[in-house]
Structure 1
Amino acid sequence: MRTPKLVVVDLDGTVVGHDTAHLRPSRAVVDALAAVRAAGVPVAVATGRALWSTLRTITDLGFTEGLHVASHGAIVYDIAVRRAVHQQHIDPAAAIAAYAAADPEVTFAIEYESRGWVTTTDFKRDFESVWLHTLDLDALGATRTPRLVARVPSLNPYGVGEARCPRAQAATDGARLDTTVYHAEVGFNGWTDVGPAGATKASGLDRVAHAYGVTAAETVVFGDSANDLPMFAWAGHAVAMGQAADSIKAAADEVAPSVADDGVAAVLRRWFP
């Protein structure tokens, strides 16, 4: 690929490791992304994270402007003006009922505006985030949201092993969601994100690229997980991180060193020394 006109990075497993606590990006990655921006090429984050968590790491990366994608494409956020320029929501009630029928141990959470998580009382709050109040299933289902989380017990570790948790995948298959309404992203460790139909990192990035006057073919993307596959297919050049599952690497045009070895920085130096 020639020098890209847009650089896109996932967060967890790409610029920081997978962890339940807040991690800061390395100096090598911060400097590499600064070199891209100094060359006049925009950098966008595309993450499955909720907005409040996304903004924390964007700040750590040194960004003060630009368009960024959160919640698997349901939100596009302009950091310079501190507001969402695109946002999609779902009515989660039907999805809640479908998952509850598919797996009796499922628990739920929703993104509440840009403020934090609202959960059922049995949802494990076992990672660092912003936790708000609890609701019963009826009240949770009546609350519009960019993202519903359906979580089942899992022995699949976060960020390693299979790209999709088998039990979460089974629950999602059993739920048989209406794909004209919902899009499900099955994660590593029992966690499935349910958002609006058509909302993926690729759909969010298509909006970002259009705003910058850049095509998908002129874009390089970095990622490590199953939710990165839509943007891998969309972009002109897709880079998988070295620690990613084989199925993710197989979908990429290139495999970088791992996140622990600053793989994003290593690849970007080719174009932005």
Structure 2
Amino acid sequence: MDEGWRPKLVVLDIDGTLLQWIEGSGQTLEEISPAVREAVHRAMDAGAHVVLASGRSMHGMTRVIDLLGLHRGERLWGVASNGAVVFRYPPAEVVFEETFDASEAVREVLAEHPTALVAVEERGIGYRVTGEFPIGELSGEMTVTTVDELVGEPVSRVIIRDPSATPEDFVALGRRLGLHGTDYVVGWTAWMDLSPIGVSKASGLARVAADLGVGAHDALAIGDGRNDLEMLRWVARGVAMGQAIDEVRAVADDVTATVEQDGVAVELARWF
């Protein structure tokens, strides 16, 4: 980065970055600290574009945008479903969506984890699921159906969750199976997101940046999970949260404070 560089695009993950994890669960508190909110608004006041990029569905992201108070009379960009969906808000409008055939990959995973739960987003409503997910892990209404019905047509993302397994189990499973025809990312719990090949937060952000007239060289991104790896590599300055796993910290240009210590505010204060 050149001397005097300052980000024109600020990209923020949500869970574990803007929102604190609830200890011992795969859920986050739907609260943003005053320090983080003020820091984000300072960046906007300085003319930076602020974009949220998450593994969440679009409707799971809009309320966080509301919590931050980001919309000031203009429509914002968001990257949802780990890059498979790019949207504007408010009102919520899908601008781009990438879909794929997930049926083979899902069957491969279920062959080794037959009791795992499967979910596919039902936009604007909630999720179609094969069984009840742990409370608070999915937003919106849940409609129980069969695996065949869930993956019988192209989808933008599939969630596979096995409460009886560990994240390490799923990491090893993904490496072992290869999961041809899909990309995948494992979360903090035994949670696997399946997505189209080549789709990530970085690919979604590239579309947004092009529309905004900025590039990766103008961008700062902050995240904490495996689904942030491509994003942190893509931007000029990728920053890992203090509690991020070693795999994420290793690709980052720097490490900020933890989410409990308002790491986003600490990093943004360097620039705004």
Fold equivalence (TM over 0.5):
yes
**CA spacing shift, 1:142–1:27, aligned 2, 3 Å:** same
**What is residue 203 of structure 2 aligned with on the other side?**
203
| Deviation of 1:247 (Å) | 2.2
Please say if residues 103 and 171 of structure 1, whose CA atoms lie closer than 8 Å, have aligned partners that are also in contact. no
Distance 2:29 2:100 in 1: 28
Please say if residues 154 and 189 of structure 1, whose CA atoms lie closer than 8 Å, have aligned partners that are also in contact. no
Q: Alignment partner for residue 173 of structure 1, among 165, 175, 183? A: 175
| Deviation of 1:202 (Å) | 0.4
Task: Count matched residues.
Answer: 261
Q: Secondary structure at the match of 2:48?
A: coil
Q: Secondary structure at the match of 1:259?
A: coil
Distance 1:80 1:52 in 2: 11
Output aligned runs, 1:93-172, within 5 Å.
93-121=103-131, 123-127=132-136, 129-154=139-164, 156=166, 165-172=167-174
What RMSD, in angstroms, separates the aligned Cα atoms of the two structures? 1.7
**What is residue 241 of structure 2 aligned with on the other side?**
241
Structure 1: stretches of 5+ with no match in the other structure: 157-164
Q: Alignment partner for residue 19 of structure 2, among 16, 19, 31? A: 16
Distance 1:131 1:167 in 2: 29
Distance 1:191 1:72 in 2: 14
Q: Secondary structure at the match of 1:260?
A: coil
In the alignment, residue 234 of structure 1 is paired with which amino acid? W
Distance 2:90 2:142 in 1: 27
Q: Secondary structure at the match of 2:115?
A: coil
Is residue 37 from structure 1 mapped to residue 39 from structure 2 by the alignment? no
1:47-87 superposed Cα distances (whole Å, 9 cap, x missing partner) = 11111111111110112232110100001111144201111
Taking structure 1 as the reference length, what is the TM-score of the superposition?
0.90
Structure 2: stretches of 5+ with no match in the other structure: none
Distance 1:100 1:202 in 2: 28
Distance 1:149 1:103 in 2: 13
Segment drifting more, 15-24 vs 210-219: 15-24
Taking structure 2 as the reference length, what is the TM-score of the superposition?
0.90
